[in-house]
Amino acid sequence: MTMHNRTIRQENLQNFISLQQNFVSKRIPATGSINLTQRCNMDCVHCYLGAPASEFRSAQDELDTEQWLSIIDQITEAGCLHLLFSGGEVLLRPDFEIIYKKAIYNGLLVTVFTNGTLINNTVLSLFEDLPPQVVEISLYGARAKSYETITRVKGSFEKCLAGIRSLYERKIKFKLKTMILAQNSGELADIKNIASGFGVDFVMDPAISACLDGDRAPLVHRVDAADAVRADFADPDNVKRWQDYFLLENTEPVSDFLYNCGAGLSHFHIDPAGTLLPCMMLTKPAFDLTKGNFMEGWRNEIHSIRKIKAGSSYRCNQCDKNKFCSTCPAFFELENGSAQKHSQYLCDLAENRLKTIKEKLHIDENPMI
C-alpha cells in the first residue's frame, strides 16, 4: 500500500467521522434500526434474543402495519437518514413489502438484515424496483454440516445459498458476514471464498454477546481471542481496515461518561412491540411509542443514557487499546450484569489486534511510520 493511498483512506475516514460528529452535536437521530419481529425460522445457537423463536415469540407481540407506517413517518420527520430492518427474520412479516416501500418512498437509505432463506421472486422484484442500500446475509458455514449445527434447521444451508445466488443473479447489492464460532472457525477462509466468488464484501465478527435477558449460554460458542484475531487478520482487507484505524489521529478528549458511542445521540432502535431504545443491545431507558410519538421519547427519555458517568473503577475510556476494542457498556451489562464492568473477552481481542498491527507495521523498527 502506498503512502498516497493510505492518506486518501485516512482522509475518507476522517470525513466520515466529521459527518457523524455533526449529527451528534445536533443530536439528530440520523441512524436507526427496527426489529420488525423476533420470530425466526432459524434457531441459532448464539442468538442474542434468547429463547427459541418457536417457543416464546409471537406475532401478537408485534406492532401492526399501520403502527409501523406511522412510526416511519415520525422518524423521517425527526431527521432519520439510514434505517436498518432486522429481526428475528424480517421476511416472516407478511407486510414487509408495505413497510419497506414506506421507508423507501420517505427517502430513507434502507439496509435489510436477513438469513436469506425466505428470499423469493416477490422479494427479488421488490428489491429490483426499489433497491436497498444493501442486503446483509449471515453465512454461518461453508458446508451444510457446520452451518446447520449453528442454525439447528435441516436444509437451511441450501436455502441460504439459493437466496444468495438469486440476489447475485438479479444484480441486487448484498454482502455476506459471519460470526466466528467454535462450530465454523475451521472454515472461515472457505466462507470468505464463497463471498469472493460472488464479488461481495465479507466481514467476520467474534464478539458473541449474552442474551438480552442475561442468559450467558451463547458465550460457550466463542473461540479463543488470539485464534479469532488470527482468523480475522488472515484477510488482507481486514488488515488494511485495522491499520487505518491505528494510524488515524485521535483528537477526542478522554470522556467522563459511560456511553461514548452514538446510542441516544445519533442512533436509536425500536423493538417489535414499538419500544424506543438507545440501541439494539439495551433494554433501558425505554419509551413506548404506542403511548407517545418518537420525538417525545427521543427528547425526554432516550437522552438520559448520556448522563451516566463512568465509575471510578471503569477503565475503558483511558485504555490504550480503545481503538481496537468494540467497547460497549451494553455488551458488558448483558455479559456481566453491570455496564461498568468490562468484558475480558473484548479486552483480549483488542490486545491481540493491537499487537498484530504493530508487528505488521513494524512499529518497533520504525516508530515514525
Give pLDDT tens digits for 122-180.
999 999 999 999 999 999 999 999 999 999 999 999 999 999 999 999 999 999 999 99
**CA 131/CA 241 separation, integer angstroms:** 27
In Å, how far are 171, 225, 256 from 281, measured between CA atoms?
33, 22, 22
Position 297 pLDDT exceeds 50: yes
The pLDDT, as a whole number, for residue 236 is 86
How many Å apart are CA 258 and CA 250, to the nearest integer?
19
Residue 263 φ then ψ, to 5°: -60, 125
* pLDDT score for 21: 57
Q: What angle do CA 11, 32, 176 make, to 5 degrees?
A: 70
pLDDT given at position 237: 82
For residues 100 and 114, give the distance between their C-alpha atoms in angstroms, rounded to a whole number: 13
Residue 351, helix vs strand vs coil: helix
- Position 3 scores a pLDDT of 46
Q: Please tell me the distance from the alpha carbon of residue 85 to that of residue 113, in angstroms, as a whole number.
A: 6
CATH domain 25-310 topology: TIM Barrel (3.20.20)
Measured between alpha carbons, how far apart are the two ends of the chain, in Å?
13
Mean pLDDT of 1-19: 47
pLDDT for residue 1: 47
For 63-101, give one letter per residue: b (16+ CB within 10 A) or e: beeeebbebbebbbebebbebbbbbbbbbbbeebeebbe
Return the residue matching grid coordinates 423521517.
76
- Average confidence (pLDDT) over 335-359: 95
Q: Answer yes or no: is pLDDT of 58 > 80.
A: no
User: Which contacts of 195-202 are long-range, i.e. CB under 8 A and separated by 24 or more positions?
Assistant: 195/139, 198/164, 198/168, 200/168, 200/174, 200/175, 200/176, 201/175, 201/176, 202/175, 202/176, 202/177, 202/178, 202/235
Query: What are the tens digits of pLDDT across the range 223-273?
Result: 999 999 999 898 888 888 888 878 886 667 889 999 999 999 999 999 999
Place of cell 407481540: 61
**H/E element holding 122?**
helix 121-129
- Give the separation between CA 272 and CA 25, rounded to whole angstroms: 29
Assess whether pLDDT exceeds 50 at residue 279: yes
- Helices 236-247 and 3-26 cross at an angle (nearest 10°) of 70
> Is 90 exceeded by the pLDDT of residue 222?
yes
Cα–Cα dist 291/369, whole Å? 56
| Predicted structure pTM score | 0.89
* Confidence category of residue 50, pLDDT binned at 50, 70, 90: confident
